[in-house]
Structure formats: C-alpha cells, structure tokens
Amino acid sequence: MVELQTIWKKHQYFAKASTAFIYGILVAIAMNFFWDPGKIYASGITGLAQLISTLTARTGFIHLSTALMIFVLNVPLFFLAWKQIGHRFTIFTFLAVIFSSIMIKTLSPVTLTNDPIICAIFGGAVNGFGTGTALKNGISTGGLDILGLTIRKKTGKSIGTINIIFNAMIVIAAGAVYGWPYAFYSALGLLVNAKVMDMVYTRQQKMQVMIITDKPKSVIDCIQNHIRRGITIVHDAEGAYYHDNKTILFTVISRYEQPELKKAMEESDPKAFVSIAENVKILGRFYEPEP
C-alpha cells in the first residue's frame, strides 16, 4: 500500500511538471505568435512585464525583455507563496513561471498576422487554454494568482476588484503606448482569455444537485467516498405517481466533480432521479481542496 501511494505521488508530480511545461509552450505561442506581432498586452504580471519591456526598449539605454521581467516580477511572489500557501504549490508555480520565461525567450517568433483583432482573439484563446489547464491540474501560473490565493486564505475574500483595476491599468497603458484602438484590442484579448480559461478550468463552477432516491444510505455513502461534500437529507417525501416513499438529498458540487457524482450514482442507485442546476451562487463555506 505504501509503495502504491509513493508511485501515485510520483505520477502526480510528473503530471504537474509536464503541465507546467505545456503551459510554458502555450504562453510562449500566445506571446511570440500573436501578442507581440499584434501589439496586444496580456493580463496581470505578464502584461506588466510586456509594458516594462516596451518602455525600456524605447529608452535605448537598457532593454529588459518580457521573458526576464515575467520571472523577476514573480520572485517576491514566490517568497509569499512559500510562506503563506505551501512549499509544493510554490515549487510547481516556480516551474510554470520558469518554463514560460524560457520558452518565450527560446521559441522563435513567427508573425502569422499583424491584424490586432485576430492577434487579440487567438492570443487570448491560447493563453486562456494554457492557464485553465494549469489551474485544472492544481498549478498556479504565478502573478496575481498567488496574491489572490493568499488574500482568500487569510480573509476569505477574492481580489476581483484588484484584478479589474490592475488589468484596466494594463489596457490604458496599451492605449498610451500604441494608440487608443490598441487599448480596445487588448481588452478584447483579456475577455477571450478569461472566457476560455473559465471553459477549461471548471473547478470554480458550482452546481446544485437534487437526488430523489429510495436508497439514501447507499447513495450518501457512495457519494462521500467519491467526493468530499456535505449532503442535506429530506425524509418522508412522496412520489405523486405511485405514492411511494422517497428521500430527497441536496448537495452542491463543482463542475469538475460531476463525473465522480455520475460514477457514484451508477454504483449506488442507477434508477434515482437526479436534477442538476448549474452556476449556483454559494453563501457560506464551500470546501475547496488545498492547492
């Protein structure tokens, strides 16, 4: 048993490291094939790194590359993550950032098009897919993710407002440097990036599940063996057609956990009636696994 657990952990670590490498390739494609040719700024720390690179290149005194600045700007956040979030989390975040910096520097730029709209859409889509895949596999891509997780861990609050303000500054900077139409192109890229990331990273999407069954104990045990979720039980329900006794179970899961719920229902009560409402809003504590 101990050997199996060791092998499983090694497999997980290898999968996370591989995902970090894939993320590095995807962000490099977004940067070198779309954002730079289209003069589009990314979101968060990556966008700030692009801005610093652009401004230093114009001074003619020293040019700090985007790849270098992505790493440098993340260094203080690595220390924050190591202290406040966790060592394993920090190690894989470091890998994601270092791979992205290396791949941006080494992957030869290819100008597929200079059309800023096409560059904004496809750059945002490629980066959103990479970021969503990283998050889905339990890896942070650095930057504001670390700050957000730290604040949420300490206060329970998100940094949605900080993200909006930070990215608004990036968009304004794009307009000031390249012309105001490019501010709108960058905003379009940010929107596409966010939408694709949400499509890929389903862990944050909540779903309310109602189960009507005559085998409540079996269903509850099986669900809780598959996923860590609380369940509310409503006894003495009655079916309107046959007037037989039923039990109603309520729980809330993430979209990421939906396949596990389906497996649990197939094992415990395949004839149960299951209703799922998507994108519900949660007030109160909802368990989320540690990163």
The pLDDT confidence band at residue 74, using thresholds 50, 70 and 90, is: very high
Confidence at 290, pLDDT banded by 50, 70, 90: low
At residue 145, what is the residue type?
D
Q: Residue 178 above 70 pLDDT?
A: yes
Q: What is the mean pLDDT of residues 135-143?
A: 81
Q: Residue 116 has what pLDDT?
A: 93
pLDDT band at 109 (very low <50, low <70, confident <90, very high): confident
DSSP for 27-41 reads HHHIIIIIIHHHT--
Top pLDDT among 61 and 17 is at: 17
- Helices H, strands E: what count in the chain? 11, 4
In the chain, what are the domain boundaries? 2-200, 206-278
Q: Are 49 and 66 in contact (CB under 8 A)?
A: yes
Of 248, 252, 246, 247, nearest to 209 by C-alpha is 252
209-238 burial code (b ≥16 CB/10 A, e <16): bebbbeebeebbebbeebbebeeeeeeeee
* CATH placement of domain 206-278: 3.30.70.120
pLDDT greater at residue 274 or residue 147? 274
The residue written with tokens 């970090």 in the block is: 20
Reported confidence tier of residue 227, pLDDT bands at 50, 70, 90: confident
Give the best-scoring range by mean pLDDT among 50-59, 79-88, 119-128, 198-207: 119-128
Model confidence at 123, in pLDDT bands (50, 70, 90)? very high
Say yes or no to pLDDT of 151 above 60: yes
Determine the pLDDT at residue 243: 81
| pLDDT single digits (tens) 29-60 | 999 999 999 999 998 899 999 999 998 988 87
Predicted confidence (pLDDT) at residue 274 exceeds the cutoff of 60: yes
Among 43-47, 243-247, 277-281, the minimum mean pLDDT is found in 277-281
237: three-class secondary structure by DSSP? strand
Least confident of 3-17, 152-166, 224-238, 248-262: 152-166
% of the chain surpassing 90 pLDDT: 39
Question: Among 121-135, 145-159, 241-255, whose mean pLDDT is lowest?
Answer: 145-159
Average model confidence (pLDDT) across the chain: 85
Average pLDDT on 170-192 reads 90
- Amino acid present at 112: L
* Residue of 205, 197, 203, 154 lying closest to 44 (CA atoms): 197
Mean pLDDT of 191-204: 80
Mean pLDDT of 259-275: 90
Distance of CA 173 to the CA centre of its chain: 25
Whether the pLDDT of residue 1 is over 60: the answer is no
Mean pLDDT of 102-120: 91
